[in-house]
Amino acid sequence: MYKKTSSKPLISGKRNEVEFSICIPTYKRTQYLKQAIDSVLMQDDIEKYSYEVIVVNNDPQDEMKELCEQYIDNNNVYFFSNEVNFGMLGNCNQCINLAKGKYVLFLHDDDYLLKNHLKELMKSIEYAKKNNLDADCFIPSRYVLSQSYSSLKKALKNTLSFLFCVRKVYKKYLTKVDYKDALLSWRDCFLAPTCGICFLHDSLQEYGEIKEVFGKAWDFVFLYEFSKKFNVYIMKNRTAVYRLESGVTKNKFTQLDFYEYNQYLLKASELQFNKYFYNEIYWFNYKRNKGETKELIKDKGMFDFNTKYSRIKFLLFKSKQMINYYLRNLDAEKIVSKEDIL
């Protein structure tokens, strides 16, 4: 169970049990928050669904009065303000405490849903029931909205996906994934519970409190650990947009958190693949960072430059990684610009 903490409602009203609780934890990012909320309210056939939108503000000094007033007549939107700053994870745990839905969806305040999200989610839930899949979590495939990727890099990533087009013939409506996929593919792929990911509420309660580990990489760690005990599926169709530039994603200290997380995965892995390519993966985790993050890793003594690796084995590792990533249908992301989505 989660620790009980205190949040005061900013809009009063009776709340009932619902099918879906869409939880939006927020902190000092109101420039995107309205778009996130509206992306839920503008879902196709929204009137068909039993849902609530829970916005939990982690800034006790800001009651978001102007924003609250815009939704005061909407009986599906609820604003709460934490009486103290619980931190990022505390706020996510508080969202779960407040949720009344059978299913809990997370939507970060700078991401948004496409209009087909709830419709595709319902199809996935019904598909799982029809095929006797004991699903605890549904991960939507998504677009990554980024202006930092060069046209060449974006084209290369999307071309690689096209080259493995044979997978599109047999790509399942739902693809089951677990922690071993994270270890073997060695890509971020599905491990980011931010935009529209859906959990069975009972499974979240059984899992317990989300722990604070590896700083800003906490969400990847959480879903990695969750997938060890519960059944996680990737949805075939893209229904959400993850905004890469708006947050702290590109901060060198954030990248350091992800570096530590990746090294943790390497050391924790029991797969023979990772043991055989240990040194190559060790170097890969370092090389994938940008210059200032590499300097930070070096200054903190977090990398042993005496570790030797084979270039041939490195190429074999990268090939194996790529094949597993695409043929296992783990490429849940497509990098786009805003114009590509519209």
Place of tokens 């200032």: 292
pLDDT tens column, 87-96: 888 888 999 9
Where are the strands (E) in 146-208, listed by range? 174-177, 195-200
Write down the pLDDT at residue 82: 86
CA trace torsion 112, 116, 121, 123 (10° rounding): -170
> How many Cβ atoms from other residues are within 10 Å of residue 130's Cβ?
8
CA distances from 66 to 58, 70, 92, 246 (A): 17, 7, 23, 22
CA distance 116 to 275: 42
Q: Which two tokens stand for residue 241?
A: 């947009």
Angle at 120 between CA 118 and CA 121, to 5 degrees: 60
Position 6 pLDDT exceeds 70: no
Residue 2: pLDDT band (50, 70, 90) is very low
pLDDT tens column, 113-147: 999 999 999 999 999 999 999 999 999 988 888 76
Q: Are 45 and 123 in contact (CB under 8 A)?
A: no
pLDDT tens column, 10-29: 555 667 899 999 999 998 88
| pLDDT (mean) for 169-186 | 74
**Domains of the chain and CATH, by start:** 1-109 (3.90.550.10), 252-327 (no CATH)
% of the chain with per-residue pLDDT over 90: 40
Position 195 pLDDT exceeds 60: yes
Angle at 142 between CA 246 and CA 263, to 5 degrees: 70
Residues near 162 by beta carbon (within 8 Å), at least 6 away in sequence:
none
Position 336 pLDDT exceeds 90: no
Residue 3: pLDDT band (50, 70, 90) is very low
